[in-house]
Amino acid sequence: MKQLQFETAPAFIILCLLAGIAYAFLLYKTKSPWSKTINWLLFAARSILVFILSFLLLGPIVKQVENMFEKPLFVILYDNSTSVKETVNVSTLSHVNQQLDKTIQILEDKGYDTRKMNLSGEEEDSVNYNNATSDLSGALKRIANRYEGENIAGIILLSDGIYNSGISPLFGSYNFPVYTVGVGDSLQRADLTIKNISYNKIAYQGNKFPVRVEVFAKGLPNQQVKATLLKQGNIIETKIQNSAAGQLLIFDFVVAATDQGVQKFDVVVDPASTEQNKKNNHASIFVEVVEGKKKILVVAPAPHPDIKALREVVDKNSNYEFLLHIPGLSEQPAANLKPAEIDLAMFLQAPDMRGKTRELFQLFSQSKTSLLLQLGQQTDLVQLAKQNMPIRFVSQPRDYDDVTPSVNTAFSNFILSSENNSIVGYYPPVSVHFGKVQLPLNATPLLFQRVGNILTDKPLLAVHIQDDRKVAVLLGEGVWRWRLNEFDRTENTLAFDELFGKLFQYLSTSDDKRKFRSYPIQQEFSDMEPVVFESQVYNDIFEPVYGNTIEIDLTNEMGKKTSYSYVTNPGNTRYQIGGLKEGVYRFKARTNLSGKQEEVHGEFIVATRQTELQNLTADFNLLRKLSSTTNGKFYPASQIENLSTALQKTEATSVIHSEERFDSVINLKWVFFILLLLVSAEWFVRKFLGSY
């Protein structure tokens, strides 16, 4: 629909018409060498031309309204989880899919748009029931978000009603009806299910670690249940308990960590005679047995609350062992005071002015062990300067100042979350030496000093790499107040723990100087996903280079070796290996670099996810409630034909979207060509008939 509008009063059109006639009359009132008919035609052409030009001066606008019809949409959502395939026979599933295809055809004939989608949000024509989890709520929310503001007429959900990921779909709010089709077996079955296994993923060689197995007995009379823990097919321990229906049984095992590396353990529960689903009676766990913990030594001249605050951070990491040495009060044996045995040494206000920690500080300052130095009122700054530490004062400070921390957002050695950065900015003051500080140019501040509301460029906490050794300097004491203050405000200490936890991890980790690195991008993979390797090759100045052939050998637990190879390029440094079964795999990657073969070794885990096998009893009651609360309807698979009949009675009501567009008449191309035609025709006729 088009409508003409004006910027001025429409009455001016009459003046435009009179102007065109008057102009043509003045031009053609005199006698001409052509006939009267030709004169009248030229008169008309000039009148129209002048009229149009005058009319365009009024600024006419064409308003155009376009109506677009949006068809209503039906989404057919398939629960493509493994539990459906396990409980529904192929013929039933095929019949249901055929009926849904007929329903889709009926909907399209009535004027609906249709989409076929699985729980992951992918549109596919043929559904493969191999999803490792069932998140019905997430799938429905995904559809609601994707088609927000569009004309959704309804959703047809084919499912067994079992969800094991996300929240219950009944808690969601949907502005469209959900028609559910129930498949599977809703009868309660006798079943022994391994619900959970609790264990330490890291154990230290020579120690023992606990394994707790939780087994749920469902629909079984009182009888003996046997659980067995195995390693490489050999029985480690067997335990027996008496069960009752609906009871959770706890089996506790204690295992010795003997062999170093990733170890696979199997838990097997003997199935009951009436049990049908036996796939959830077996589970595997993987434990990494490491040689020992990283040792973090804290040296201080006297007790201080800062020691307790930093110890809390260290103790939260099971990979660390905290060692405290206070001369004359809490001393470590000589074996723990050797730099070669320590991964990180923290000297808190040491070396001190009384000389208690001077010799130990001199020993560590001359080693390659990473250091964290905290300055305080007891610190001997003269002795600190003698040991070539990356900090010195221009003049001996005689006073102290109270400063608050501010995170350096440009710090790149590790990343702190933005949320925790803001929390650090509200920490209370710490006491620092008042004076001008000098740090090496390549030292990187992690925290700056803020005096009142003024942010200075003075570092409060800085990191420096000196002769391949990492040294961090904390210029203030009283960080225990930071931890208490954060807990008082947020009831947790996440920011404090992240700040110092990542700092300790960075300082205690040796830099990787290898020119060839190849590794799986994660330690554990599911058997439903490919194993992805990342390979990096560097030259002598550690610039990445490409075009190298990477050869990867995988060896499974049975000793079978499989080889792969690929060539790196700037757009592809990764390689995917699919189809691996559950187990521990050891890999060897190699490449040729400057005529020399480089190799790396490692291992990774492929685990089978059995989430879908924990419960195979269909929950039709949940599907009924979901349909009822959304004004839909539930249909068991045996009555799926009734769904097509019901939807055939619905009306496909389209939504009309109107769009208005305003165009100035002077910008229309056809107006230009009309004017050009009039001017050209008049000029040609006048010249042809002997006029100018």
At residue 199, the pLDDT reads: 84
Question: Is CATH 3.40.50 the right assignment for the domain spanning 294-508?
Answer: yes
Q: Which two tokens stand for residue 182?
A: 């129930």
Q: What is the pLDDT of residue 461?
A: 94
pLDDT tens-digit readout, 578-631: 989 989 999 999 999 888 899 998 899 998 877 777 778 889 999 999 999 999
Answer whether 419's CB lies under 8 Å from 391's CB.
no
- Judged by average pLDDT, the poorest of 74-83, 335-344, 537-546 is 537-546
Confidence (pLDDT) at 473: 93
Residue 253 pLDDT more than 90?
A: yes
The closest of 290, 293, 303 to 259, measured between CA atoms, is 290
The ranges assigned to domains in the chain are: 2-66+661-688, 72-187+617-648, 191-290, 294-508, 516-607
Q: How far, in Å, CA of 357 to CA of 351, rounded?
A: 5
> Residue 470: its pLDDT value, please?
92
Q: CB 342: neighbour CB atoms within 10 A?
A: 22
Q: Which of 359-368, 414-423, 540-549 has the highest mean pLDDT?
A: 359-368
Query: So what CATH class is 72-187+617-648?
Result: alpha beta
Tokens (6 digits) for 442: 């390549």
pLDDT score of 33 more than 90: no
Same CATH topology for 191-290 and 516-607: the answer is yes
| CATH entry 2.60.40.10 includes domain 191-290 | yes
**516-607 placed in CATH 1.10.1040.10:** no
SS (H, E, C) 476-528: EECCHHHHHHHHHHHCCCHHHHHHHHHHHHHHHCCCCCCCEEEEECCCEEECC
Higher per-residue confidence, 384 vs 431: 431
Strands 454-466 and 469-474: antiparallel
The arithmetic mean of pLDDT across residues 44-67, rounded, is 82
The per-residue pLDDT of the chain, averaged, comes to 87
Is the overall model pTM greater than 0.75, yes or no?
Answer: no
Q: Which two tokens stand for residue 113?
A: 């748009």
φ, ψ (nearest 5 deg) of residue 461 = -140, 120
